[in-house]
Amino acid sequence: MVMTDVEDRAKHSDLPVYGRLREVVCLVESVEPLYVRYSEDPRGDVGGTSIDGESGLPLPGLSASPLTPESWWTRPVEQWAARQLMKYRHLEHEGDGRVAWILTGSEVGRGPDAEPLLADVIPVAVLAESVLDEADELYSAAFDRGQRVADSRQ
């Protein structure tokens, strides 16, 4: 069996590797709050904080995207998870060896893009590329990709 780079790094960090979107959804449906983050070292991020790239200011927590659906979300959890996984997928290519990983923690604020900032971070799992590919397919099938929020007008 050929081990991928993601699996190899997860093995060394003692985190499980999820290979299917359904695994992510089952976790989201049973544990909350959950978030997704893209970085090089999930275990190394524990206890760290993010920096606002534009201002250079340190943020009070680690930036992440929510995997737990908001209360107004009435569509399937799979669609929420796919959307959130795709929101910052471009970040996996903005550094050497970035992976998508699931975490939990305490929200301590919001970042400049209104993203949750987390303290007391606990890494939960690393996501294999197959999860992201599956999420990408579902996202494209379920949503008008790239459309923005529209106000309801009478």
Q: Percentage of the chain with pLDDT > 70?
A: 80
Q: Which residues contact 131 (CB under 8 A, 6 or more apart)?
A: 18, 19, 20, 21, 23, 24, 85, 100
5: nearest Cα among 126, 118, 106: 126
Q: pTM of the entire structure?
A: 0.84
Higher-confidence position of 149 and 135? 135
Residue 117 has what pLDDT?
98
pLDDT at 110 over 90: yes
